[in-house]
């Protein structure tokens, strides 16, 4: 119960801070990644290590989820965590919470076969909430949270992507 109370206090403090100082709400996450072998990568997010790989049928060693599966995991985790923190903030009781996210890809886009988009054609989610509280109030909060989830928002609207490619002539023995 202490953790729930702490989370409720954290949410309230952040809301008040962001109302007073909108500039304090600017968040710039950064991830670095490096190739391990075959189709496996190792990414660093803060002090956390995230491994990605592909199934053997796709040329990987099937040691971890692939990047597109991690995108779905980020979607699920975002709506779950955001809903949970705001449900506590609003005084609701949550007994259990889970999410399932799936999408449809046309892999011709990835493999540059035909003029097909490489991204998802659609995404679908199910957010399963067990609570003794009023269903209409819980549904309204869930819909509001999902509409404000940064992962969902980033997937729904065009986000400018820019970058650079640097190439060096390394000497390997």
- The Cα–Cα gap between 83 and 99 comes to 11
> Tell me, what's the pLDDT at 3?
60
**For each of the chain's 173 residues, which pLDDT tens digit applies?**
456 568 888 998 999 999 999 999 999 989 999 999 999 999 999 999 999 999 999 899 999 999 999 999 999 999 999 999 999 999 999 999 999 999 999 989 988 999 999 999 999 999 999 999 999 999 999 999 999 999 999 999 989 999 999 988 877 76
Residue among 144, 165, 169, 147 nearest 156 (CA): 147
C-alpha 39: how far from chain center: 21
Alpha-carbon separation of residue 107 from 21, 68, 155 (angstroms): 45, 12, 18
Domain ranges of the chain: 66-157
116 contacts: CB under 8 Å, gap ≥ 6: 106, 108, 109
- The Cα–Cα gap between 154 and 79 comes to 13
- Please state which CATH number belongs to domain 66-157: 3.30.300.20
> Tell me, what's the pLDDT at 19?
92
Burial class (CB in 10 A: 0-12, 13-18, 19+), 125: middle
């Amino acid at each position: 119960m202490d953790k729930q109370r702490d989370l409720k206090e954290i949410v309230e403090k952040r809301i008040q801070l962001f109302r007073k100082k909108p500039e304090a709400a600017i968040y710039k996450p950064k991830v670095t990644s490096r190739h391990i072998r075959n189709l496996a990568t190792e990414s660093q997010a803060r002090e956390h290590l995230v491994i990605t790989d592909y199934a053997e049928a796709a040329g990987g060693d099937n040691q971890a989820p692939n990047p597109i599966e991690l995108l779905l995991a980020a979607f699920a985790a975002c709506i779950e965590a955001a809903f949970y923190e705001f449900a506590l903030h609003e005084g609701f009781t949550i007994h259990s919470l889970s999410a399932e996210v799936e999408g449809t890809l046309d892999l011709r886009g990835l493999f540059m076969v035909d003029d097909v988009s490489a991204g998802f054609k659609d995404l679908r989610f199910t957010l399963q909430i067990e609570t003794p509280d009023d269903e209409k109030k819980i549904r309204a909060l869930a819909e509001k949270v999902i509409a404000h989830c940064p992962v969902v928002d980033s997937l729904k609207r065009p986000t400018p992507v820019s970058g650079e490619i640097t190439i060096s002539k390394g000497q390997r023995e």
